[in-house]
Structure 1
Amino acid sequence: MEKSISQTILLAGATGYLGSYIAKALVEDSFKTKLITRTTKKLTHLKSKTVEIIEAEVTKPKTLYGICENVATVISTVGITRQKDGLTYMDVDYQANLNLLNEAKRAGVKKFIYISAIHGDKYRHLKIFEAKEKFVDALKTSGLEYAIIRPNGFFSDMKDFLNMAKKGKIYLFGNGEQKFNPIHGQDLAIVCLQSIKSTTTEITVGGPDILTLNEIGEMALDAIQKPNKIIHLPHCIRRFILWSLRNFTSSKFYGPIEFFLTLMAEDNIAPRFGSKRLYHFFKENINQ
């Protein structure tokens, strides 16, 4: 990818699944990079003449002051799928990103790249997407150049299939023929770096293979050499679970489950990209 190493990129969320791949890609491509993290020791192995590690917390605006000085582009992977530290989706996916955006604007940053998820605008009623899309709205009206990247699920999310397979059975709702194409973090990192120069403002992307849920289940069972045992449950059970969770549990508990059960009920196919295969990911993560 054509680039100018004089351009400084700031990455927020560098210790997460996707962020770690983006950080590695920025280093390998010799970008001048600022990585912000709550604990610098997690990223000290990346520190170099072109990489600066900055201790800051995106949920605390005062710690962000000055971090965007001389930065051309901000990339944020900040978000939570399983709530922790007593923080809500609005605290992190919306407000923390807004804190970063406000500092970027103050410092004169040119472009802000944000990683959301596929069909976030369609599923705004889901707790996870409500906060993400509220930030997307703020970004679009910020006056900065922007790119919103919408991946079709991460390979890391597919570990749920592997965990079921380890117990000998895969449970699916409906006939299991719903299709989608999740993407590996390493492939998605390439998309994120390409978006630095691209003028495309919204990028929906998935992995190279379009798979049914049945195929993913079979793949997970095969990876750990278990018999092909997939149990199909009716959608009425899925709808009842969603209703029960929304009415009798807190959003911090049901948010991730609501997301998974809703999107897995229908096809979600994104433009294909990358070379990493899910089966290899399963084989590599059998013992994790």
Structure 2
Amino acid sequence: KSSVTIKCSAAATNLAPGTPVRPTSILVVGATGTLGRQIVRRDLDEGYEVRCLVRPRPAPADFLRDWGATVVNADLSKPESIPATLIGVHTVIDCATGRPEEPIKKVDWEGKVALIQCAKAMGIQKYVFYSIHNCDKHPEVPLMEIKYCTEKFIQDSGLNYIIIRLCGFMQGLIGQYAVPILEEKSVWGTDAPTRIAYMDTQDIARLTLIALRNEKIAKTLLTFAGPRAWTTQEVITLCERLAGQDANVTTVPVSVLKFTRQVTRLFEWTNDAADRLAFSEVKIVPLSPNILFTMQVPSYKIAVPRLEHPHNWCLGCYYLFMLHLIK
């Protein structure tokens, strides 16, 4: 919970007062990620002018340009690179996260604070931030604590915000379980009772735009989740049944993960690994099975009975669909 102060102003980027900004102009931060690319694609399909903030890299994100988006280079860990990317932008959709090899604090806290401060100084009209379901209930997990602190920072910033809490992405199951099982490689599992209500990122993108276009949804906290929450073992069992073959599962007891976390805490260079191991202690419970899109505002809930991608109603249907593409 360190203090981060970033000096950022419209004058610093030569943005003249009164410069008109089109409501359809969107900056997507983290545009190359699993969720970010779906946000970009959906926004473009619905006629928005999309600008993508990506880190400078040897292999440029050409696929974003091919889709019709504008790509600008910046790095959240270098706050001075942020202001220029916000010129002429109406809405910021922030789905960025740090890389696994990076300290969580660098991007997910310090970088986000810098981005939020710049957005406020530059007069951004709407700010969408993706958080984690139940992050307020797990201060012992560093990333969840950072997400919750970022939520509070946004709420105190004066920005017109939408905070969206997510549980997990169905797309992540393909590389983690589906492909290794098909290739007869080992998959990792635990005996933890942790349950995750996975959603297709395409549906998350669609619901995000629904919320964004609704003028009544302002300074609001939302939660998106699938109708059923799955344990790791349930996911593996489902994949085995649909793939028609047994998985080579290496099960790591939660007690071992907890011990490993305690040991890594003894060494400064392994602190980040310990932070990520802390997720083994998180227990996520599903929302009501009839509500996929809820507004956590007293006496106000929005239910979406039909999703564009029916995979969310059946994880098995999604797996079969992806299995067909893989084979």
TM-score, normalised relative to structure 2: 0.72
**How far apart, CA to CA, are the structure 1 residues paired with 2:42 and 2:169?**
17
Deviation at 1:77, TM superposition (A): 0.6
Query: Once structures 1 and 2 are overlaid, which stretch shifts more, 186-195 or 274-283?
Result: 274-283
**How far apart, CA to CA, are the structure 1 residues paired with 2:187 and 2:226?**
25
Cα shift readout 1:214-271 (whole Å, capped 9, x = no counterpart): 4212112224322378787765445434433444571222333322x122xx342134
2:237 to 218, 222, 238: 218
Query: Once structures 1 and 2 are overlaid, which stretch shifts more, 9-18 or 272-281?
Result: 272-281
Task: Mark the CA change 1:98 to 1:214 in structure 2 (over 3 Å): closer, same or farther.
Answer: same
Are residues 1:60 and 2:78 paired? Answer: yes
Are residues 1:276 and 2:295 paired? Answer: no
**How far apart, CA to CA, are the structure 1 residues paired with 2:87 and 2:66?**
23
Task: Mark the CA change 1:225 to 1:6 in structure 2 (over 3 Å): closer, same or farther.
Answer: same
1:103 to 109, 118, 134: 118
The question of whether the paired residues in 2 share the 8 Å contact of 1:140 and 1:146 is answered with yes
1:69 to 87, 91, 107: 87
Are residues 1:80 and 2:98 paired? Answer: yes
1:240 to 242, 259, 275: 259
Deviation at 1:6, TM superposition (A): 4.4
**How far apart, CA to CA, are the structure 1 residues paired with 2:38 and 2:177?**
22
**How far apart, CA to CA, are the structure 1 residues paired with 2:83 and 2:186?**
51
Larger Rg: 2
The question of whether the paired residues in 1 share the 8 Å contact of 2:260 and 2:274 is answered with no
Query: Once structures 1 and 2 are overlaid, which stretch shifts more, 8-17 or 64-73?
Result: 64-73
Letter in 2 for 1:44: R
Deviation at 1:112, TM superposition (A): 0.8
- SS for the counterpart of 2:129 is strand
Q: Which runs of 5+ in 2 are unaligned?
A: 1-21, 294-306
Letter in 2 for 1:187: D
Task: Mark the CA change 1:41 to 1:236 in structure 2 (over 3 Å): closer, same or farther.
Answer: closer
Deviation at 1:102, TM superposition (A): 1.7
**How far apart, CA to CA, are the structure 2 residues paired with 1:90 and 1:169?**
29
The question of whether the paired residues in 2 share the 8 Å contact of 1:21 and 1:189 is answered with yes
Task: Mark the CA change 1:143 to 1:170 in structure 2 (over 3 Å): closer, same or farther.
Answer: closer
**How far apart, CA to CA, are the structure 2 residues paired with 1:30 and 1:194?**
14
The question of whether the paired residues in 2 share the 8 Å contact of 1:81 and 1:128 is answered with no
Query: Once structures 1 and 2 are overlaid, which stretch shifts more, 277-286 or 96-105?
Result: 277-286
1:131 to 127, 142, 146: 146
Deviation at 1:69, TM superposition (A): 2.5
**How far apart, CA to CA, are the structure 1 residues paired with 2:179 and 2:264?**
22
Deviation at 1:140, TM superposition (A): 0.9
Letter in 1 for 2:90: A
**How far apart, CA to CA, are the structure 2 residues paired with 1:242 and 1:119?**
21
Are residues 1:89 and 2:104 paired? Answer: yes
Cα shift readout 1:85-127 (whole Å, capped 9, x = no counterpart): xx42111011112222122112111111111111111112212
TM-score, normalised relative to structure 1: 0.81
Are residues 1:29 and 2:46 paired? Answer: yes
Partner of 2:274: 254
- SS for the counterpart of 1:9 is strand
Letter in 2 for 1:10: L
State the identity as a percent. 21
1:143 to 143, 155, 158: 158
Task: Mark the CA change 1:89 to 1:237 in structure 2 (over 3 Å): closer, same or farther.
Answer: closer
Task: Mark the CA change 1:13 to 1:58 in structure 2 (over 3 Å): closer, same or farther.
Answer: same
Count of residue pairs brought into register by the alignment: 273
- SS for the counterpart of 1:276 is helix
